[in-house]
Amino acid sequence: MRVEHRAYWGGAWVENQGEGECVVSNPATEAPLARVRSSSAADVDAAVKSARAAWPAWSRTAPSERAAMLERLSKALAARRDELGSLITSELGMPLELSRRVQAGLPVAVLASYAQLLRDYRFEEEVGNSLVIRQSVGVVGAITPWNYPLHQVVAKVAPALAAGCTVVVKPSEVCPLSALLFAEVVESCGLPAGVFNLVLGPGGTVGEALAAHPDLDMVSFTGSTRAGRRVAELAAGNFARCALELGGKSPCVILDDADFARAVPAGVGGAFLNSGQTCSALTRMLVPRARMAEATRLAVATAATYRVGDPLDPATRLGPLVSAAQRERVLGFVRRALEAGVELACGGVEPPAGLSRGHFVAPTVFTHVDPRCEVAREEVFGPVLCLIPHDGDEHAIELANDSSYGLGGAVWSGDRARAERVARRLRTGQVDLNGGKWNVLAPFGGFKRSGRGRELGRAGLEEYTELQALQR
């Protein structure tokens, strides 16, 4: 088993001084992969001071120089893409081919997108008699989750570095190994000492020490709404800017003129991606009441194609959940739904056949779901889909917006203009129209309890800047 005692700050690998250790396990086999010693509060302080010392010089570098560095990072990470995909599969459980494309591929693309964006972006503009300047916000603390462990690191680090900020990253203790690999890539590319720093350990200790640090100018957090509220409280104590990307309960709105043979399977895929462990997962499928039986048949048939099993097997489409605790949390939602009389179409609480070891949950579909019940309102974070009937466009919009969340969404219609009219009325940060594809240049973030601020693209860069006006 790998033993990891290092953190990375000040341009060097440093022994963590924390007293605790986090055990990283393979969720498919339950075998331990690594023991990772936690950083101490003193380690966090040293990493932040390192970032503070590096910030003046880095913030004054030319955008072209920062773009060149981001391009080097992208190419160096791409060279380790297969290694990275295997590593994330081992600690998270996403099927290997999908892990290579998504978990390893997205960070490469995000780094490259900011290298390109910087070549055209203007940090200054004339407004009347004023010169309006976007300056670097300063030192950033980035706290990231386990479900997309490296993508979420890079989605914060890339725009922060592009804006001229320095960064201290605290990845999830559940899946920290890809962040350690990224630190190796940073070191190999010659990023100046202190510009990127990495500390390790649980959110309740190391994350809190980072979020509360008085020398941070900004905290960027991705995770649960509950934890995000705590991070915001800590950051507010120092008047640090706070960006939050939190939970979701995203609707997939299928209108009566949609191609159901395309829309329903795509909606199931949007719910089950990463075994449902995706904040923007399309976990509420809103279906015309008159076509619920048809939609249920299609959803069940699609769910049956999601073979559950070993994520290293090319035939596997659905890997395990990340941990025993996460599996029990998801099964708790399923049990309570069954106890409340919610109609089960497939799946349930029993483990998939032949999988007595590992944190596996069967792909589960509930149908004719009352939109007021718990499983239709709370973020489950597992392969659980609710089919909810609607009575036309207005009712579908009302149901879609009847949520404390507002992160993702989808609309399907045979009339593209109709789909767009409905989408414009959804209170959510992103909406896919008839299967529209992910765009790494588009802003990502949510309304309501799904957070505040945006990641990716131009909007993501501007999160890490402050505006200054020079009157002349």
Q: How far apart are CA 111 and CA 70, in angstroms?
A: 6
Of 393, 448, 442, the C-alpha closest to 421 is: 393
Of 304, 437, 436, the C-alpha closest to 383 is: 304
For this structure, is 279 an active site residue? yes
Burial class (CB in 10 A: 0-12, 13-18, 19+), 189: middle
CB 220 within 8 A of CB 243: yes
**Residue 391 half-sphere exposure toward CB, CA atoms < 13 A:** 0
- Residue 287: φ, ψ to 5°: -125, 140
CB 181 within 8 A of CB 209: no
Which residues contact residue 204 at a Cβ distance below 8 angstroms, ignoring those fewer than 6 apart? Answer: none
Catalytic residue among 245, 379, 455, 463: 245
Q: How far apart are CA 132 and CA 264, in angstroms?
A: 48
Q: How far apart are CA 323 and CA 202, in angstroms?
A: 15
For this structure, is 245 an active site residue? yes
Instruction: Give the number of other Cβ atoms within 10 Å of residue 423's Cβ.
Output: 21
181 φ/ψ sector (left φ>0, alpha ψ -120 to 50, else beta)? alpha
Catalytic residue among 165, 175, 279, 346: 279
Q: How far apart are CA 231 and CA 129, in angstroms?
A: 39
Q: How far apart are CA 230 and CA 169, in angstroms?
A: 17
- Dihedral sign from CA coordinates of 218, 222, 226, 227: negative
- Residue 361: φ, ψ to 5°: -130, 135
Catalytic center residues: 245, 279
